[in-house]
Chains A and B, each alone.
Chain A
C-alpha cells in the first residue's frame, strides 16, 4: 500500500528547509523503489519541530522532527515508514503532549490537511457551518455568534455579534465583509498560518458573515510580507467558487457571496480598521475619526463588517460540531472560547498554541514553551505585539483573558507572546516602541505624529543621564498625552510598552556611561 507522508508547506516550515526535505523524501523513495505520496499541509504550529515529517499508518499519523536534509537518508535506512525506532521519532501525533493539551477549534484542520484539497476540507468538517447558516435567518446566525461569546481576535475584543447586528440592521443597497489579514504585530502569525493551512475556513467564515448581514461582496486585505499566504488564498478562491463556497449560488442555494484579495504595501497602520478601509479605497492609510463606525459607514461609505481573520475563520467551527453552546462553554468570565496564542522570540518550543481563555501565561511559556531558547533567565515578556506591555517574570501567573490582563495594565492583542532573556535592555525596547510609532504613524493626529519622535528624544536624554528626574516626568506626561489624545490604538497604546518597561525595569533607564 502506498504510504502517505505529510510535510508542511507553511512559510515557517519552508524557512527551515521543508521544501528541500520534501524533495529529498520523494527522490529517496523513488531511488529505493518505495511507493509513497507526499501531501503538503499547513503547519500544526509546533515550529520547534519543523520541518515535521509525518507518516500515516492505518489512519494514524506518526511524527518525525525536526528533520533536516541530512536526516532523510538515515530515516529511510532505519525504515521510518514502518516506524522503526529513530532518534527523531515523536510517536503518534495525536498523543504528542504539546498538541494533546491544546483545544483545537479554529486550528483543527491546520497542519492536518492539504490546504487546497476541498474534499479533505469537507471530510474534516468544512462546509457544515455554511450549510447550517443557509438554513437560518440573519437574526438566528447572529444569535449563535452571540451565544458563542465570540469577540474580535484582532485585539480590541469587541463582541462580534453586536458588530454584525449593527450592519444587518443598517439599510443599504450594498454592504461589505472585510477580512483584516494585515497581521503586523511582531510575535503573531496565526492569520498567516490559517491562510496557508486552512484558507477555505477563512472563505467560509466570510460567506457566513455575508449571509448574516446581507452583504454580497467581500475583500481580504493581506499584508505584502506574506507571499505564501497570498499565493495560497489566491489559489483557493477559484476552488471555493467551483465548490460552492463562493459565487452566485452558495451550496446550490439562492444566496450570493464573492470576494477578492487585496495586498497591502508595508504600512503597519493599515491593520487599524479605518486605515485599512482607506487603503482598500486607494488612499493613504490614514485613520478615520469614529463615528461613524464602519458598521454604519465603512468601505466606500457602505455598512461594513470588518473583522480579524481569526474571528471570521472561527465562525464556521462555532456553527458546527457541538455548536455555539459548546464553544461558549469554553473559557472564563466574559472571554469565551479559545485563543490561538503565538509563542515567539527567545523560547525553546515556539509556535501556535490554541487554548481556552483563562490559561495562565506561565503555563504557556513554561509548560508549552519550555522557557527561553538561550537557557538564560527570562527577563521580560511582551504580550500583544509592539503596542503591548512588557511584563516581568513575577507577573506570569495572570490568566490569559481580556479582563484579567486589563486588570494588570496589559492587553491580549492578537495573542502574540514574545519572550526576552536577561540580556535584553528594556530601555532600548522602550525606545524602540517610540521609534516604531514614529516610523509607522500615519500622521493624522499630533500626539502620535510628534509625540513619538519627542518620545525617542526624551528616552535618549534619560539614558544619557541628562536631567533624569525632569525628563522622566516629561516622559510620563508625554505618554499620558499620547494615550488620551491619539485618534487610534497606534498612538494610544505606544505608551503601554514604554510605561510598563519603566515601571518594571527602572534600572534599565539609568545612565550607564562609564559603568563596566
Chain B
C-alpha cells in the first residue's frame, strides 16, 4: 500500500465507521469489540467516532469516552508508519530491557508514547509480551522479536518496513 493510500485510510469517514460499528453491534457487551473494529479500520479511534458509537450503542458520549480513555491500546491520534513496542516489565528489565529502552528513545529522539523526530515511528511501552524466556522483547510492526540488543534494534529499524507476519 502506498503512503497516500495509507494516509487516506486513516482519515475519519462516517460511512466506514458505521460499517465497523454495525459488524459488532449484535454482540453482548459490544463496546470493546466496536472500539477494536474502529481502530482496525482507521489505525486509531478518532474522537469524531465517539458520538456515532454512543448513538448506535445507546450509550452516553461520556460512557464511550470513559472506556476509550481507560484502555492503553486505543490510539487517540493517527499512527505513524511504523510501530515499536518495547517491553518494560521485570523479566526484560533483568536482561537489559531498560538499556534497550533508553537506546530506543535516544535513537528515535522521543519519549515513550511519542513519535520519532522524523515522524516515522511510534514508540510505545508494553508491559509483558509473554516472551520472558527470550528477553528483552520487542514488537516491531506487529512482529514479536526476542533477545534484542541495541545493535539489533538499530539493524531492525534500518530495514524497510516489513508487513507484520500473519500468525500461521
Chain A contacts to B: CB under 8 angstroms: 9, 11-12, 14-16, 19, 40, 47-48, 50, 183-189, 192, 224-228, 230-232, 260, 262-268, 279-285, 300, 342-347, 350-352, 373, 382, 386, 416, 418-421, 424, 429, 432, 436, 439-440, 442
Contacts and interface: CB of A to CB of B under 8 A. Distances in A.
Interface stretch (B2-10, B12-20, B114-122, B125-133): B125-133
A22 to B, nearest CB: 9
A405 B145 CA distance: 34
Given A225-B128, A267-B71, A279-B32, A186 B89 contact: yes
B72 A227 contact: no
From A14, A263, A416, A429, name the one whose CB has the most chain B CB atoms within 10 angstroms: A14
A420 B31 CA distance: 40
A282 B133 contact: no
Contact of B32 (A185, A187, A265): A265
Given A15-B144, A280-B29, A284-B66, A187 B91 contact: yes
21 contacts: A11-B129, A12-B131, A12-B146, A15-B131, A15-B137, A16-B134, A186-B91, A225-B139, A231-B167, A265-B73, A268-B127, A282-B67, A283-B66, A283-B67, A344-B91, A344-B133, A350-B134, A418-B132, A429-B93, A436-B89, A439-B127
Nearest to A300: B28
Contacts of B129: 11, 225
B167 A262 contact: no
Nearest to B167: A231
Interface residues of B, number: 47
From B33, B95, B133, name the one whose CB has the most chain A CB atoms within 10 angstroms: B133
B132 A187 contact: yes
Given A227-B167, A265-B74, A345 B144 contact: no
Interface string B138-168: 0100101111000000000000000001111
A224 to B, nearest CB: 5
A187 B90 contact: yes
A448 to B, nearest CB: 15
B35 interface: yes
A282 B31 CA distance: 5
Given A19-B165, A262-B32, A285 B70 contact: yes
A325 to B, nearest CB: 33
Interface in B49-75: 57, 63, 66-67, 70-74
Contacts of B89: 186-187, 386, 436
Contacts of A421: 94
A15 B134 contact: yes
Nearest to B64: A282
A352 B130 CA distance: 12
A224 B90 contact: no
A480 B129 CA distance: 31
B135 interface: yes
Interface of B: 27-33, 35-36, 57, 63, 66-67, 70-74, 87, 89-95, 126-135, 137, 139, 142, 144-147, 165-168
A420 B145 CA distance: 21
Contacts of A342: 132-133
A15 B146 contact: yes
B73 A416 contact: no
Contact of A429 (B35, B36, B90, B144): B90
Contacts of A11: 129-131, 144
Contacts of A266: 71-73, 126
B94 A424 contact: yes
A262 B27 CA distance: 10
B127 A436 contact: yes
Given A185-B128, A266-B71, A382-B90, 8 more contacts: A11-B144, A19-B165, A186-B90, A188-B130, A264-B71, A266-B73, A283-B31, A418-B94
Contacts of A268: 127
A347 B147 CA distance: 12
Contacts of A189: 130-133
Nearest to A193: B130
A382 B132 CA distance: 13
B5 to A, nearest CB: 23
